[in-house]
Amino acid sequence: EAGVAQSPRYKIIEKRQSVAFWCNPISGHATLYWYQQILGQGPKLLIQFQNNGVVDDSQLPKDRFSAERLKGVDSTLKIQPAKLEDSAVYLCASSLDGQGRNSPLHFGNGTRLTVT
């Protein structure tokens, strides 16, 4: 099966600019996750969708980050305006199980964001 697709692979922007990341999960996977991973740390969940509904966005900085999952398939994550501390790898993952509890997460290659 095709894996989780993410784009772009790399992005360099200046602070206060905006940026958007795109994710296409594995076909048929109900649950989609966006994670932020800062160098040397574990993944931090930003938002979790089940189909096109939000299950958990408690750690999403809503004043600058937004995400949507149109028609329960593709998803975009946007940052506006970006700050220096947003420099990280943004990982998209999907899982088959509707509640996400018993299915492994499949990750995309991530987008490495550098904010200067």
Partner 1 sequence: GQQVMQIPQYQHVQEGEDFTTYCNSSTTLSNIQWYKQRPGGHPVFLIQLVKSGEVKKQKRLTFQFGEAKKNSSLHITATQTTDVGTYFCAGYMDSNYQLIWGAGTKLIIKP
Looking at beta carbons only, is 28 or 42 nearer to partner 1?
42
Of the candidate residues 5, 20, 45, 73, the single one contacting partner 1 (CB under 8 A):
45
**Is the Cβ–Cβ distance between 34 and 90 less than 8 Å?**
yes
In order of 14, 36, 44, the CA distances from 40 in angstroms are: 23, 12, 12
71 touching partner 1, by CB under 8 A: no
Q: State which of positions 1-40 bind partner 1 (CB under 8 A).
A: none
CB of 26 to partner 1, least distance (A): 12
- Which DSSP string do the residues of 11-70 spell out, in sequence order? EEE-TT--EEEEEE--TT--EEEEEEE-TTS--EEEEEEETTEEEE-TTS-TTTEEEEEG
Q: How far apart are CA 71 and CA 11, in angstroms?
A: 26
Of the candidate residues 43, 47, 94, 113, the single one contacting partner 1 (CB under 8 A):
43
Of the candidate residues 7, 56, 73, 74, the single one contacting partner 1 (CB under 8 A):
56
51 touching partner 1, by CB under 8 A: no
Looking at beta carbons only, is 82 or 111 nearer to partner 1?
111
